[in-house]
Structure 1
Amino acid sequence: MSRAAEIDPIVRERLVCPTDHGPLLDAGDELYNPRLRVAYRIDSDGIPVMLAGEARAVGDAEHATITGGADR
């Protein structure tokens, strides 16, 4: 099971991107913002690191993989 899937559902539904305040996609051990193409890691304790300065940029190929090729 991925770290994203292990987040408490009540907590998960309240998590949004700290930059644009929009919804995030579960992407394995990260939460992904397809609009800004940035990923937020989930640490080994299962805590999402929701700091804009720690977000990881995602390239076109990885974006297509995460979104299933949909341009969101």
Structure 2
Amino acid sequence: MATRAESIDPITRARLVCPQDHGPLLDAGDELYNPRLRVAYRIDPDGIPVMLADEARKVDDDEHAELTGETPDAP
């Protein structure tokens, strides 16, 4: 079963960028993720990305590492 991010039309997906820094986003299941700002944008059940900066969700270090495949910073 495809995630919401995978279900976005490829042409539309190629044009989606972060509304805050205008950089590329990673597909993160039912969200689009900006690893530079560590914020995630939800994709609603109808498959529409909610690209509003004030609705972006903060991502902690552990989740960032999981989403990007990086090793979390040591304390």
The verdict on a shared fold, with TM-score over 0.5 as the criterion, is yes
Scaled by the length of structure 1, the TM-score of the pair is 0.96
Q: Which residue of the partner structure matches residue 9 of structure 1?
A: 10
Q: Distance in 2 between matches of 1:57 and 1:69?
A: 17
Matches within 5 A, 1:24-63: 24-63=25-64
1:66 deviates by 0.2
The DSSP-based 3-state class of the residue aligned with 1:39 is: strand
Give unmatched runs, 5+ long, in structure 1. Answer: none
Distance (whole Å) between structure 2 residues aligned to residue 42 and residue 24 of structure 1: 13
TM-score normalised per structure 2: 0.92
> Is 1:18 aligned to residue 19 of structure 2?
yes
Aligned positions, number: 71
Change (3 A) 1:64 1:18: same
Report the aligned-residue RMSD: 1.2
Give the 4+ runs in structure 1 shifted more than 4 A: none
Share of identical aligned residues, percent? 76
